[in-house]
Structure 1
């Protein structure tokens, strides 16, 4: 199983006021924090090592993880966003290179373990494999879709599938991006141009827990 990074450094602006004094990954859904739910998925899949990045109210996350089987990638000063954050963590996450997995903690899943599914569907001719959900089934989603699927499930920008917040990806070309802080969209664009980015549809439930009003939606999905 590849190494896994959980993105926990964000400011949580959409989740205010709940994030005024607490980082979003520590907000609870049905009595369990979003970060712990993400770690449950990671451990059940056998991902190792597991790295969590921190920035906003990062000391709270570090205290929460103290003594656990998790490495911290702290981002001081400038928040590095997903692309810069992944690159910053690589010396700990994947010092010998190779594909890695990433997971957004502000998502609640039901059904098969998405990380196990991604690892099982990975092929050596892929540069990235993104978990997707159909827009019509994307609970809590605001806005449109991100991608459509072409031949052999290759990703095409724009369409009715939503990036679900979990992926397996080769991070090598992060070195080609000069900025310190940038979104993983920059890396995806480089890889999509090469025709080696694919999508995998998650067959279970999915809820974007990015706003306070999405918490009861996620809890209802878990109860259902």
Structure 2
């Protein structure tokens, strides 16, 4: 098994349009859930996993995110000119993140149970894997209304399908990202390559997860966190 990464990308540049009026004057990562901003819930996982290099991208109301992160040691990848989506944003941030595989973590979810980043670290095998997704069963995904993102086989490989939801946490080897010509693109382009190569894997998060993408999901997340104590 290859060494697990020690660098993480926080995706914090989204417009947050599904949050409607809540993001009129503040970016989604700073919306409070259970008394603290969403991005701080993500950072609790990061600091708990003792990850050394952390980069956050910013776009919409990015000055507020930068001010919030001042003094934390989190580096900023500024996308104020144009939001680059997940793939373009990660590629722009790679000089700050350094070479090799990286964690990425969305900043619009709440978690309970084991630290998902530690779970990813323990399961990562860079000799076999190009990407390792943290997944939850579709029926256990709070705030999510779809049929699922992936199917998971007995060896842990994923294919597009139903049954499991991608939680927004992964370890990804970005090799090949430089060959994508578009400046703005989703990481789905890399994922599809890795799935076709049989090098996309998943690990199931054994705790609670709530997608906090809409106003009504805030109460769901707070109830989940309260139930977990």
* TMscore range, shorter length: over 0.9
Aligned residue among 73, 82, 85 for 1:78: 82
For structure 2, which runs of at least 5 residues remain unmatched after alignment?
Answer: none
Q: Which residue of 1 aligns with 2:206?
A: 203
Aligned residue among 172, 179, 183 for 1:180: 183
CA distance in 2, matches of 1:151, 1:134: 15
CA distance in 1, matches of 2:203, 2:111: 15
Q: Deviations over 1:161-208 (max 9, x none)?
A: 000110001001111211001111111001111101100010100000
Q: Which residue of 2 aligns with 1:100?
A: 102
Aligned residue among 129, 133, 137 for 1:134: 137
When the two chains are superposed, the root-mean-square deviation of aligned CA atoms in Å is: 0.9
CA positional deviation for 1:76: 2.8
For structure 1, which runs of at least 5 residues remain unmatched after alignment?
Answer: none
Q: Which residue of 2 aligns with 1:153?
A: 156
CA positional deviation for 1:53: 0.3
Q: Which residue of 1 aligns with 2:225?
A: 222
Q: Which residue of 1 aligns with 2:114?
A: 112
CA distance in 1, matches of 2:190, 2:21: 32
CA positional deviation for 1:126: 0.7
Q: Which residue of 2 aligns with 1:29?
A: 33
Q: TM-score, normalised by structure 2?
A: 0.95
